[in-house]
Structure formats: structure tokens, C-alpha cells
Amino acid sequence: MTETDREKLTREVRARQKARNIALGLFLGGLVVLFFLLTVVRFPTS
């Protein structure tokens, strides 16, 4: 494996990690919003 192949592999791995991190962040953010909305529906202010 040449140095260029390693750099390409590293870039691909980092791109996959970034995509996975973004997906996980969106999922967790969605859960936060869902729990907030469930709380508002269960405990109305009035």
C-alpha cells in the first residue's frame, strides 16, 4: 500500500465518520425535540 492509498483511505474513513456523526447528532436532536413535545402535551401550562 502506497502513501497515497493510505491518505485516500484516511480521507474516506474520516468522511464516513463525519457522516455518521452528523446522522447521530440529528437523531439525538430529534429525540430531544420529541421528549420536549411529549412533556408539553402531558403537562399543559393551563
| Type and span of the H or E element at 44 | none
Higher pLDDT, 4 or 3: 4
- Supply 13's cell numbers: 474513513
Q: What is the pLDDT of residue 33?
A: 98
pTM given for the model: 0.71
Q: What is the pLDDT of residues 5-45, one digit of tens each?
A: 778 779 899 999 999 999 999 999 999 999 999 999 888 76
Confidence of residue 46 (pLDDT cuts 50, 70, 90): low
| C-alpha to C-alpha distance for 18 and 38, rounded to whole angstroms | 30
Give the count of domains, the chain. Answer: 1
* pLDDT for the residue numbered 34: 97
11-24: burial string, b at 16+ Cβ within 10 Å, e else: eeeeeeeeeeeeee
Range of the domain at 15: 1-46
